A and B are shown apart, each in its own frame.
Chain A
């Protein structure tokens, strides 16, 4: 019984009858929270994540006086999974936020120069906040997709003459460079087989996982290996192939 999942994956079968490289139904709904500059709900099967973008003005870092900044945070709401508890972010929530933060940052999908208001004095800061509503596995991919969908949905707020933030959005979208937008696919390993998009029951049994952020041009922007089992170079190569195919499909859903 304890090896049920292992033997299932070994036979190239899934708990819910899917193929190894097959995602569950994915849906993206934008503009789900009106006070946010941009927002999205992403569902992958029964997994559900809500993301929102808020903009604020701040002083730039001295080493990049004309660059805006961004920050990703994640909260695993205790209602999403009986194992989550209220309080400060768990290590899982911190890892998830940081993996997604790096994917967005390193892809340079947000044109940071355009987020400069006054060089050396005032720049925009984008807060991308993620909340896990229901956990049925594969949170990183769902959260990463939600973050991207919310960013693409976001409009810049208006500023008054003194550059004070007004609670009103302009008709200008956040400066996104479409070709660079990364999507994330996490490839999981049980036994000798690799697969994507686990349900919670499969995820609990995984030996290793690797999250891969890939731009629409096919460049890899971020990677994070998880779990305590090692991967071979060949497996990493296979994982990148799986992730490429999966992110291509996700990109079609995102539009």
Chain B
């Protein structure tokens, strides 16, 4: 008989049997071992229909087509740019994907993006995670030339954004900052002054640290309230 051995949303550890029987199907972070399904990553167990999955609590960002990420220009070439998006391999931003405007062939590409600058872009193609294409054309995609960049663990991104963007909206409202969270865990914060930006960073660090707790929204809203008065 098939049976779930661990309650949903509970912490699982590699090797731990999470279900027995053939009715459940393993997906990300789980594997079949004979009769049983075991966890292969540290994380929280979820069940959708019959499919078991482990939501990781930590880990390197792995590029996925359709993800909006924030990257740092690492090289300027003849016909495009190299963008470091926090994965093992850099992504390519081709000339035709860089801007809605026409970029002439003989243009100085550093006028558009220079080494060290940050860009919000979207992943359009990947092959065996080694070749990655990104585009900077599309709503919200552009060079980020003010504000601060912070690095978070990519597994925390859903909590930083919150359900239907609730957490990020709360942060924006409390700080008056513009905030963009890349799926790769790179966050851009730009506001009137650096104190506001720092408050956003500190709040995000709090979310990261306590991301596995229930009632996180209340904790964050209280933290923002307390620190607004101080400021």
Contacts and interface: CB of A to CB of B under 8 A. Distances in A.
A162 interface: no
A11 B192 CA distance: 14
Interface in A5-35: 8, 11, 13, 15-17
A17 B195 contact: yes
A4 interface: yes
B198 A17 contact: yes
Contacts of B194: 8, 11, 13
Interface string B82-120: 000000000000000000000000000000001011100
Interface in B177-231: 194-195, 198
B148 interface: yes
A1 B198 contact: no
A31 to B, nearest CB: 30
B146 to A, nearest CB: 7
B147 A1 contact: yes
B52 to A, nearest CB: 33
Contacts of A11: 194
A161 interface: no
A167 interface: no
A2 interface: yes
Interface string B115-158: 01110000000000000000000000000111111000000000
Contact of B117 (A1, A8, A15, A17): A1
B196 to A, nearest CB: 11
Interface size class of A (residues with CB under 8 A): under 10
B195 A1 contact: no
Nearest to A16: B198
Contacts of A2: 114, 116-117
Contacts, number: 23
B117 A4 contact: no
Nearest to A17: B198
Interface residues of B, number: 13
A8 B145 CA distance: 15
A205 to B, nearest CB: 10
Contacts of A17: 195, 198
A4 B118 CA distance: 12
A16 B198 CA distance: 7
B116 A4 contact: no
A74 to B, nearest CB: 27
Contacts of B198: 15-17
B5 to A, nearest CB: 35
Contacts of B116: 1-2
A4 B148 contact: yes
A2 B148 CA distance: 10
Contacts of B195: 13, 17
A17 B230 CA distance: 14
Interface string A142-169: 0000000000000000000000000000
Contacts of A13: 194-195
Contacts of B144: 1
Contacts of B118: 1
A17 B147 CA distance: 15
Nearest to A2: B116
A235 B174 CA distance: 40
A13 B147 CA distance: 14
A111 B194 CA distance: 50
B227 to A, nearest CB: 11
Contacts of A8: 194
A13 B197 CA distance: 12
A2 B144 CA distance: 10
Q: Sorted from nearest, which 4 A-B pairs have the closest CB atoms?
A: A17-B198, A1-B145, A2-B116, A13-B194
Given A2-B114, A8-B194, 8 more contacts: A1-B117, A1-B145, A1-B149, A2-B117, A4-B147, A13-B194, A16-B198, A17-B198
Interface of A: 1-2, 4, 8, 11, 13, 15-17
